[in-house]
Amino acid sequence: MNKPILIIGAGISGLTTAQALRKEGIPFRVFERDSSPSFKSAGWGLTLNWALPTFRALLPDDIVARLPETFVDAEAVKAGEKGSFTFYDLSTGEALWKVPASERIRVSRERLRRLLLTGLDVEWNKTIGEITKGDADVTAHFLDGNTAKGSFLVACDGARSTVRRWMHPAACDNYQLPVRFVGASAEFSEFQIRHIRELDQYFLQGSDPRTDAYLWFSFLEAPGDPGCPEVRNGERMYRCQVCVSWPYRQGFFGNVEPISTPLTSIGQISWIKALSTDWAEPFRSVLQNVPNNAEIKAVELIDWVPRKRASEFDDWRVVLLGDAMHAMVMYRGEGANHAIVDVSVLLEVLKPLYGDLDLDDMETDQTFRAAVGRYEDEVVSRTETAVLASRQACLDAHDFSRLDDSSPLIRRRVMRTDLEKLAK
């Protein structure tokens, strides 16, 4: 029996890889640096759109059947509501653009991750420290002193990937955008959120042309969803994601120096309330009603443009996948969709090897080289433009004068865009 595929990282991309391998009967092991599934906070939502059919095709039937458990506002999904994802002028409340989609769903990241853990034996507290190449295998060395030997290794270890540093020693650093971002997970009563729900049942966005501050709002749990807050004082409750970002530049909001993110939670909540004081309704009220005990965090906006491996890294039994391969900011909501397609492409090139070859034979290394070369060619071609389009969408979101129908912030989400002019 061939040695297992080693998966580094138990986020959405790593777990999707594991479930796809489980469906195909290919042996694998999953390693995660966190101590348990609940180590991280509850998390936010994500949008599955053009990659949704691919996602369903990758997953075992038992997981596909339970996908509705992860939907945000399952009742609205069942009713066929897709949402319009409208962009608003926050100073007037005027609806400016809608982002169309043929099919999309909003899912809870936490509930999706919990579902994808089904049937998997994740090995927790495993932080990768080194990878060594064997004659016909690869060994992962962890900081706790343990090792694991496999036929192949898939690094799904995130935007600050350790494995990426080894594969691209001279070009591994992320690019930091000149924007600062905080996001809160907050509970609102049905009364407090009623006017937002009249605009959209899933999500919306907008910018203030006077300051270039940006708002993203989405629902995380609605009544009837698993994990939804209980009725309080006779009112149904909603859990929502409220994110605010602003340009890091001199003169913003009347300050001579750029405004950094406040260091404390209460400071961050006070800041987003100050930014939204004179926004139009209902956007102003939503921000002003964020409770002072809401879970809030700052997010560093970074990306990394994908490229083929450095010539000095010649272990073709190791690949990057997802954020490790193409970290992108969230302003087009495409990171998870591209990661799903990464898994599909990787599975397509690996399945013939695991079906027909003795992978312990040293002669198969050239076969791996050819297969991984095809994988990297496709991923780089597909996601280089996507990373840069997401970067431009972020910059446009914080420069209202740049916004028009051609902005990648507004354009329809598709697997391949017509924004090749952004590629360097």
* pLDDT value at residue 42: 55
User: Any catalytic annotation for residue 202?
Assistant: no
Q: What is the pLDDT of residues 349-359, one digit of tens each?
A: 999 988 766 66
Burial of 37 (0-12, 13-18, 19+ CB in 10 A): middle
Q: 378 and 286: one domain? A: no
Buried b (16+ CB within 10 A) or exposed e, 301-339: bbbbbbeebeeeeebbbbbbbbbbbbbbbbbbbbbbbbb
Do 135 and 262 reside in the same domain of the chain? no
Tell me the pLDDT tens digit for each residue of 231-254: 888 899 999 999 999 999 999 999
Per-residue pLDDT at 102: 64
Question: Is 417 a member of any domain?
Answer: no
Predicted pLDDT at 1: 60
CATH of the domain at 331: 3.50.50.60
286 and 316 fall within a common domain: no
pLDDT, tens digit (0-9, with 9 covering 90-100), for 98-152: 876 667 889 999 999 999 999 999 999 999 999 999 888 999 999 999 999 999 9
Whether residue 247 is found in the same domain as residue 358: no
Q: Kindly state whether residues 278 and 138 are assigned to the same domain.
A: no
Main-chain phi, psi angles of 240, to 5 degrees = -130, 160
Bridge pairing between strands 86-89 and 203-207 = parallel
CB 215 within 8 A of CB 224: no
Tell me the C-alpha distance between 305 and 62, whole Å. 35
**What pLDDT, in 10s, does the model give residues 173-225?**
999 999 999 999 999 999 999 999 999 989 999 999 999 999 999 999 999 89
pLDDT value at residue 310: 83
Determine, yes or no, domain membership for 356: yes
**Residue 37: what pLDDT?**
83
Asked whether residue 12 falls in the same domain as residue 144, the answer is: yes
Residue 41 confidence (pLDDT): 61
Give the residue numbers spanning the domain of 130. Answer: 5-32+122-175+303-394
Give domain status of residue 287, yes or no: yes
Same-domain pairing of 257 and 344: no
pLDDT digits (tens, 9 = 90+) for 14-62: 999 999 999 999 999 999 999 888 766 657 899 998 999 999 999 999 9
Query: Quick one: pLDDT at residue 171?
Result: 94
pTM of the model: 0.93
Catalytic residue among 88, 175, 202, 214: 214
**Number of domains within the chain:** 2
The reply to whether 338 and 204 lie within a common domain is no
pLDDT band at 267 (very low <50, low <70, confident <90, very high): very high
pLDDT over 90 percentage in the chain? 78
Q: How confident is the model at residue 415 (pLDDT cuts 50, 70, 90)?
A: low
Q: What is the pLDDT of residues 295-338, one digit of tens each?
A: 999 999 999 999 998 888 888 899 999 999 999 999 999 999 99
pLDDT of amino acid 422: 44
Domain final residue, candidates 267, 300, 333: 300
Same domain, 171 and 183: no
Q: Would you place residue 421 in the very low, low, confident or very high pLDDT band (cuts 50, 70, 90)? A: very low
Q: What is the pLDDT of residue 294?
A: 95
**Looking at the structure, do residues 183 and 251 belong to the same domain, yes or no?**
yes
